[in-house]
Structure 1
Amino acid sequence: MDEKPLLHKCLGLLYSLFCYVYSMLVLVYFVGFIGPPQVPKDIDSGPATAWYFAALIDVALISLFALQHSGMARKSFKSFWLQWVAAPIERATYVLFSSLALSLMFLLWQPISLTLWDIETPAARGLINGLYWLGWIIALLATFLLSHFELFGLKQALDVFRPHRGESRTFKTPWLYKLVRHPLYLGFVMTFWATPHMTVGHLLFAGVGTLYILIGTLLEEKDLVQLFGEQYRQYQRKVGMLLPFLGRR
């Protein structure tokens, strides 16, 4: 193993590690942006502006993230992208761009503070906040049930240090994936909606965010059908998309 390739591999690993750490910090901030923990700027804080102007900016920010997140995940884009980005760091770069798009949304988000509901009963607030944290637990667990470090690009950077093995993608449905096809997205949808204090701005985020997840899920399933064929079609017929029994084909 000569020095130059080894140096490139080490730099690629350091870069992927940076992308991973940054993405984790962004996700931790996201928890506070839409939920109970205090962060410097959350979904309902910031200078007030006209509601129609705020709504336009907020929808644009979510759309920017959606275009980046789904666009860069498509096979056609990856084929083009890999001409410029080395394969071992391609996933880490995708994760970095997603994290930057989220960071921009946190920074520029415009609150619309009109309250739609504010539940004050301690038991009800506790139940709703419990659902919020359950959503995050489901989302995090879903990443580890398949391959957390592959999802965030670290495994690809580590694989270059190992002897090359021809690995084929295997279809597996561990635990939560036997209940719903996309537990990660189910967890996110739960976090969007489970709040005891719902403002118009939060409702806008939850509604547009859920719509994007539904569209993104359909696009992802097309890729999965191409990858796994009839095996995935049978899975679609047996297991609901985001809720058990709902969305089976």
Structure 2
Amino acid sequence: MKRIIFVYAIGCYGLFGIVFVWLAAFLLNIGDLRGPAKSAPASAAAINLTLIAAFGIAHSVMARPAFKRVWLRIIPHAAERATYVLQSSFLLALIFWCWQPIPVVIWDIDGLAAWIVYGAFFLGTAIILVSTFLLGHGEFVGLSQAWNNLRGVAKKPPQFRTPFLYRLVRHPLQFGLIVTMTATPVMTAGHLLFVAAMTLYIMIGLRLEERALLREFGADYENYRRDVPMLIPHPFRRAR
């Protein structure tokens, strides 16, 4: 059973990697992934918002402690995070697969300015990846839990840490996501809808996450929250 869980976690991680690359291609509209219009703008917007709502609700509900207490009666603890990654990857892929384009152009940047925008896109992508490694990439994607279970290593209690980017902003991963989603030389109405809806979900999700972190780490996190901005780095503010 332990080996099965570990193989399962590797499979979930592989899907996560594919969908992450798909996300980058979707945002950059490589190969016209967002494509021409297939339906009226109102219908397209309704379908797209439904897809994003399904992703956001499932993603948030599965992260809540109350859900986890019930969920862990059904699946092994070592497979919980990998399953969370699996459902997130699947629902995000569903958004890309079923996306209804709204190709009205909001802005179209070319020349040197376009390369600057591309630079911001890849900077945001780098922030996302670095953020996952700073607090443990393996644990973030569920590999560490499955590996420790395979070796019979007990789970370590969570520790409050603020390495590197986490001293500039409390949620660098989400900051990187917003930068990556927004930094495109060609912004269409459909892309803008994606950015707006996903940013709204990020803000709601962060509020819920911060409540959970306050319950878990208490005064340490309260002090951290007072000293470090939540999402937008402050260039003239130093965290204690």
TM range (shorter): over 0.9
Q: 1:221 aligns with which of 210, 220, 223?
A: 210
* CA distance in structure 2 between the partners assigned to 1:9 and 1:138 by the alignment: 33
CA deviations over 1:80-129 (Å, ceiling 9, x no partner): 11111110101101110111101111111000001111112x11101111
Poorly superposed stretches of 4+, deviation over 6 Å: none
* CA distance in structure 2 between the partners assigned to 1:202 and 1:126 by the alignment: 19
- Partner residue of 1:5? none
How big is the shift at 1:163? 4.4
- Partner residue of 2:79? 89
Give the secondary-structure state (helix, strand or coil) at the position aligned to 2:107. Answer: strand
Gaps of 5+ in 1: 1-7
1:186 aligns to 2:175 (yes or no): yes
1:161 aligns to 2:150 (yes or no): yes
Gaps of 5+ in 2: none
- Partner residue of 1:138? 127
How big is the shift at 1:167? 2.1
Give the secondary-structure state (helix, strand or coil) at the position aligned to 2:161. Answer: coil
How big is the shift at 1:243? 1.2
- Partner residue of 2:190? 201
How big is the shift at 1:192? 1.2
- Partner residue of 1:55? 45
1:22 aligns to 2:15 (yes or no): yes
- Partner residue of 1:212? 201
TM-score, normalised with respect to structure 1: 0.91
Percent identity of paired positions between Structure 1 and Structure 2: 43
Amino acid at match of 2:91: A
* CA distance in structure 2 between the partners assigned to 1:184 and 1:141 by the alignment: 8
Q: 1:106 aligns with which of 83, 86, 96?
A: 96
* CA distance in structure 1 between the partners assigned to 2:87 and 2:94 by the alignment: 11
Amino acid at match of 1:16: A
* CA distance in structure 2 between the partners assigned to 1:166 and 1:88 by the alignment: 9
After superposition, the CA RMSD in angstroms is 1.5
How big is the shift at 1:174? 0.4
TM-score, normalised with respect to structure 2: 0.95
- Partner residue of 1:3? none
Question: 1:236 and 1:118, CA in 2 relative to 1: closer, same or farther beyond 3 A?
Answer: same
- Partner residue of 1:74? 64
Conserved? CA contact 2:148–2:155, under 8 Å: no
Question: 1:83 and 1:165, CA in 2 relative to 1: closer, same or farther beyond 3 A?
Answer: closer
* CA distance in structure 2 between the partners assigned to 1:144 and 1:189 by the alignment: 19
* CA distance in structure 1 between the partners assigned to 2:155 and 2:92 by the alignment: 35
Give the secondary-structure state (helix, strand or coil) at the position aligned to 1:160. Answer: helix
